Structure 1
Amino acid sequence: MAVYTDVSDAEAGALMRALGLGELTALRGIEGGIENTNYFATTDQGEWVLTLFERLNHAQLPFYLHLMKHLAQHGVPVPEPQAKADGAPVAAGEDDILHTVCGKPAAVVNRLRGKSELQPGAAHCAAVGDMLARAHLAARDYPLRQPNLRGLTWWNETVPVVLPHLDDAQSALIRTELAYQNHIAAGSAYAALPRGAIHADLFRDNVMFEGTREQPVLSGFFDFYFAGVDTWLFDLAVALNDWAVDLPSGRADTARTRAMLAAYTAVRPLTDAERRLLPAMLRAGALRFWISRLWDFHLPREASMLKPHDPTHFERVLRARVADPLLP
């Protein structure tokens, strides 16, 4: 992720000791992303990731961190937030897995093994589909609730902000699609969609693999800080829009799409309403990330390692989903 806040070795080392994770031996900022400050932290006991939250406050973070803890304890390979030792002081706004560094809320999780696969094949997509379905089922009894903060309400608020940066064709597309998504969300079929805690940002760079390209082993999901309660179908659509599209054109890749859908539905079959609305949710997922990338690109924040994503990619994905809908 981008680095907005510089953390000293002394500050990071003090937190590692407080968590019983050993003595800090190395600290390195992580490049990429746009939301939080992240560092790789190495201690004499292992490898960790230190995150400082730049937009979310202490009151907002328990949903995300305890969701990760819940999934990890239910066998889903996700980074597990590290807890303070029994009896350790807990400052105002903190809890056992929510800490404070440089005056900002922070968390420390174990560093996942493996590496991201930025050119996935069908086997990678199948592994993601399988584990995403397992994660949805594992979170059914997760007790905390928080809406998807980058959902329809945010789209309606943010489109007027980015419109001045669009040409006439782009403006027409984004206005038309937003109206369509408001119409879909008001329908009875949408109300019937199963829902729960979702990842909402399961892109290629948020999954780790070990094994070989022919036989990949999914070693973990990470970056849950866009998670919220929303439809499971939207989460699946977001994943399909990244894992199963041709990046230069934005068009769907048939083999990878089939692999992910088959693996997902083998664990959790889609309902009739989900099958009917899958084309609409694929469009919704493309719209969501087109809007957020426009916002980040045209209204950026300062960061020492910030590289905003190209917003036109998801414009292409949206146009492709409208022109060639995936039939249920």
Structure 2
Amino acid sequence: MAVFTPVPETDAAPLFKALGLGRLKALQGIEGGIENTNFFATTEREGAEHEWVLTLFERLTHAQLPFYLHLMKHLAQRGIPVPEPQAKPEGMRRRPGEDELLHTLRGKPAAIVNRLRGKSVLAPAPAHCAAVGGMLARMHLAGRDYGRSQPNLRGLPWWNETVPVVLPHLATGEAALLQAELAYQNHVAASSAWAALPRGPVHADLFRDNVMFDDEAGAPDAPRLTGFFDFYFAGVDAWLFDLAVTLNDWATDLPTGALDLPRARALVAAYQAERALTQAERDLLPAMLRAGALRFWLSRLWDWHLPRQASLLKPHDPAHFERVLRQRLAQPLTMAALES
């Protein structure tokens, strides 16, 4: 959520007004991510202030974006707490590539969503992990009847394309690990067990900083989850991969990369209370945890060694997910360990 494209308030104000969201009072760039340009926006309408998030998409195109925006709308309408894209009123002119949820600002595809209340919990307890696991399963089930389809754009084909790009920047040991794990994941993807995994829309980036909790509304042993956000890595993929990505962040000890078993058990138990894992999913959990670690190690290597210029840009250190991958290799997490 670095600022690649500066947006003066005078440029943004007409869009907020045209969408019926009120008079723009403040626009502030958001620091934290590395893909899109994001701003917090405050508008005034009928004497009340309203909070929004304005996003300009730096890599995704007008053709790709309807999948994400309409998925968020679909989930919001089914009771999943996600930011809801704001639609054009009837009769508003659409520029080339736009639809009712997708707009254009400063020559870039753009969207405006409501700002979720609450804050991210960066040191989660098992209760936070349970809330995330249960909501993740409900999100997967709510997406089953979503009519649009788009692959996970950071899935296996992207891994195969990107590994050769980053290899020249790596030490011998890192390069060997990256190549070996990519070969293993290609082997897994060719298996009948992988083909049997249930699939549907996935978030694919459900890290601690992409979830909100309202500390004042929930009890310590039952924190109130107020939203999932940042769906712009979503796609149709194995639900197990989404669960593995989530586990690799929420149930991981950040300094070492090792899994925290109480947090992992809480997250998976809550997930299974909503949707029981199939036998193929149970069997492939260790492999998908490795896949999730590879995906984010690789993307962070790419961002670290081939950065883009942007105000507030802070690429994440790729060493963290190298540690996570090495831990998943040394100490595979099985369903038996989670249920013992």
Question: What range is the shorter-chain TM-score in?
Answer: over 0.9
Map of 2:33 onto structure 1? 33
- What is the CA–CA distance in structure 2 between the aligned matches of 1:173 and 1:92, rounded to whole Å? 45
Q: Would you say 1:296 and 2:294 are equivalent positions?
A: no
Give runs of aligned pairs for residues 223-302 of structure 1, distance below 5 A: 223-302=230-309
- What is the CA–CA distance in structure 2 between the aligned matches of 1:113 and 1:215, rounded to whole Å? 17
- Residue identity matched to 1:58: H
Return the match for 2:93 from 89, 110, 116: 89
Map of 1:131 onto structure 2? 135
Give runs of aligned pairs for residues 13-92 of structure 1, distance below 5 A: 13-45=13-45, 46-92=50-96
Q: What secondary structure sits across from 2:42 in the alignment? A: strand
- What is the CA–CA distance in structure 2 between the aligned matches of 1:170 and 1:201, rounded to whole Å? 23
- What is the CA–CA distance in structure 1 between the aligned matches of 2:221 and 2:118, rounded to whole Å? 15
Q: Would you say 1:194 and 2:175 are equivalent positions?
A: no
Return the match for 2:172 from 168, 171, 187: 168
- What is the CA–CA distance in structure 1 between the aligned matches of 2:138 and 2:180, rounded to whole Å? 35
Task: Count how many residue pairs are aligned between Structure 1 and Structure 2.
Answer: 328
- Residue identity matched to 2:35: E
Bigger Cα displacement from structure 2, 89-98 vs 271-280: 89-98
How far the C-alpha of 1:283 sits from its partner, in A, is 0.2
Q: What secondary structure sits across from 1:44 in the alignment? A: strand
- What is the CA–CA distance in structure 2 between the aligned matches of 1:52 and 1:292, rounded to whole Å? 20
- What is the CA–CA distance in structure 2 between the aligned matches of 1:169 and 1:102, rounded to whole Å? 44
- What is the CA–CA distance in structure 2 between the aligned matches of 1:327 and 1:264, rounded to whole Å? 15
Bigger Cα displacement from structure 2, 210-219 vs 51-60: 210-219
Deviations 1:207-239 (A, max 9, x none): 000035443100000000000000000000000
Map of 1:307 onto structure 2? 314
- Residue identity matched to 2:25: T
Bigger Cα displacement from structure 2, 130-139 vs 168-177: 168-177
- What is the CA–CA distance in structure 2 between the aligned matches of 1:53 and 1:274, rounded to whole Å? 34
Map of 1:217 onto structure 2? 224
Map of 2:144 onto structure 1? 140
Q: Would you say 1:101 and 2:105 are equivalent positions?
A: yes
Deviations 1:110-129 (A, max 9, x none): 00000000000001000000
Map of 1:207 onto structure 2? 211
- What is the CA–CA distance in structure 2 between the aligned matches of 1:189 and 1:65, rounded to whole Å? 31
Deviations 1:19-43 (A, max 9, x none): 1000001000000100000000000
Q: Would you say 1:149 and 2:153 are equivalent positions?
A: yes
How far the C-alpha of 1:139 sits from its partner, in A, is 0.3
- What is the CA–CA distance in structure 2 between the aligned matches of 1:323 and 1:294, rounded to whole Å? 22
- Residue identity matched to 1:225: Y
- What is the CA–CA distance in structure 2 between the aligned matches of 1:311 and 1:305, rounded to whole Å? 18
- What is the CA–CA distance in structure 2 between the aligned matches of 1:190 and 1:214, rounded to whole Å? 36
Q: What secondary structure sits across from 2:236 in the alignment? A: strand
Q: Taking structure 1 as the reference length, what is the TM-score of the superposition?
A: 0.99
- What is the CA–CA distance in structure 2 between the aligned matches of 1:22 and 1:275, rounded to whole Å? 50
How far the C-alpha of 1:91 sits from its partner, in A, is 1.2
- Give 5+ residue unaligned stretches, structure 1: none
Q: Taking structure 2 as the reference length, what is the TM-score of the superposition?
A: 0.96
- Residue identity matched to 1:288: R
Q: What secondary structure sits across from 1:302 in the alignment? A: coil
Q: Would you say 1:122 and 2:129 are equivalent positions?
A: no
- What is the CA–CA distance in structure 2 between the aligned matches of 1:59 and 1:205, rounded to whole Å? 27
- Residue identity matched to 2:174: Q
Identity fraction in percent: 73
- What is the CA–CA distance in structure 2 between the aligned matches of 1:199 and 1:254, rounded to whole Å? 23
- What is the CA–CA distance in structure 2 between the aligned matches of 1:219 and 1:89, rounded to whole Å? 34
Where does structure 1 differ by over 2 angstroms across 4 or more consecutive aligned residues? 211-215
How far the C-alpha of 1:164 sits from its partner, in A, is 1.0
Map of 2:338 onto structure 1? none
